[in-house]
Amino acid sequence: MFDLFSWNHILILVIVALVVVGPKDLPRMMHMMGRWAGKARGMANEFKRSFDDMARQSELEELRKEVEALKANNPLADIGRSLDEPLYADNSAAADEPRAGEFQVTDTSTPEAGTPETGTPEATPATAAPASERTAP
């Protein structure tokens, strides 16, 4: 605090103050000087605090802008949205094919000839007509 003054200079100032002010009013003057120094220190701290707050506000604003820019240009969000979309446009195609890890159960039994399941009676080689004589329905 007293970088400009050495102990010799401080001693000379105290002796001059004692002679000029007098021993009776010296404690009151020192008290007033202490209050002024306290007020000056408080104002300096408030000034420093206000600059720190302004710097913090500007840093927070820059961080908010960076976060908004990252949200707007986030490629992972596009991937997430595409994963949430259904694979097929309609549900009928998705119902026909099994999903990963599932098996599709099919009927492997053969229906007997002439049953309504096949729709047409099975032709035997003896009764089968040649391809040229068949007519389209």
Domain borders along the chain are: 7-80
- Across the chain, what does the average pLDDT equal? 76
Percent of the chain with pLDDT over 90: 26
Identify which of 29, 3, 4, 35 has the alpha carbon closest to the alpha carbon of residue 14: 29
Q: Give the 3-state secondary structure of 41-71.
A: HHHHHHHHHHHHHHHHHHHHHHHHHHHHHHH
pLDDT number for residue 47:
94
- pTM of the predicted model, to two decimals? 0.40
Query: Which residues lie closer than 8 Å to 121 by C-beta, 6 or more apart?
Result: 113, 114
Task: Mention every residue, 6+ apart, whose C-beta is less than 8 A from residue 48.
Answer: none
